[in-house]
Amino acid sequence: MLELYDEQIAFILPYFNFPVNWTIASTWIVMAVLLLVSWLATRHLKTGNKVSHWQTAMEVMVKIIYGQISEMTKGVNTMTYLPFIGTLFLFILTCNLLTIIPTFKTPTASLSTTAALASMVLLGVPFFGIKTAGMKKYLKKYLEPSPAMLPFNILSELTSTGAMAVRLFGNVLSGVIIGSICLMLVPFILPLPMQVLGLFTGMIQAYIFAMLALMYVSSVHGDDDGVPAQDKKPVATDNETL
């Protein structure tokens, strides 16, 4: 009954003779959906009063994500984090919302997908830390409050991102299992509210994953005491253009 999407083969890739399991196949489906929507939305980008509906919807989405990130980072370096955090959010959101389509096997119910997303965050911590705060300040973070805390700081990096992976996986998997148990016991009406609750949980989980990723990624930066003045200037212009 446990849905092990890693072991269910969707199809055999021709020419390579490579068995593609359902996790990879549904990840490709989600990627195709995201690509198609963003291609449709950014086909005829223009400024002015008459813009297409697609462009307006996309602008609203980007604006909301931008606002959330800039509230969290207090307006510093928002455009640096926006592509990474926004992609994580949209990908997990699409995965979780597509669960209501019957027979769609959501990739986030497999530990491989969530572990891959969490390891991206794990790699993002040094990347964005060095990019925004510089190598010296990034390495100094591990020696705070005292050099004796170095192993604990490294351990906390690893465990907090690992917990992110298990949290997303466990939440989505529990929704899937509750749905299938309800289908076995009372297949008529009762699964519906559970599915709706699953949609709500999915949205919250996507939001929480993105926000926690942002917290870890921007943790080096912390307060903006060490930020040079020229780094602060583009923020104001970003706010005006968006």
**Which residues are near another protein by CB under 8 A?**
1-2, 68, 71-72, 163, 166-167, 169-171, 173-174, 177, 204-205, 207-208, 211-212, 215
- Min CB(198)–another protein separation in Å: 15
CB contact at 8 A, 40 and 54: yes
C-alpha span between 221 and 232 (Å, rounded): 13
Query: CA neighbours within 13 Å on the CB side: how many for 28?
Result: 8
- Min CB(29)–another protein separation in Å: 25
- Quick one: 164 or 220, whose CB is closer to another protein? 164
Query: CA neighbours within 13 Å on the CB side: how many for 26?
Result: 27
Q: Which residue do the tokens 């989600």 mark?
A: 30
- Quick one: 153 or 201, whose CB is closer to another protein? 201
- Min CB(211)–another protein separation in Å: 6
Rg (CA), the chain: 21
Residue 5 exposed, middle or buried by CB count within 10 Å (0-12, 13-18, 19+): buried
- Min CB(159)–another protein separation in Å: 10
- Min CB(209)–another protein separation in Å: 8
CB contact at 8 A, 127 and 77: no
- Quick one: 82 or 165, whose CB is closer to another protein? 165
- Quick one: 168 or 220, whose CB is closer to another protein? 168
- Quick one: 29 or 198, whose CB is closer to another protein? 198
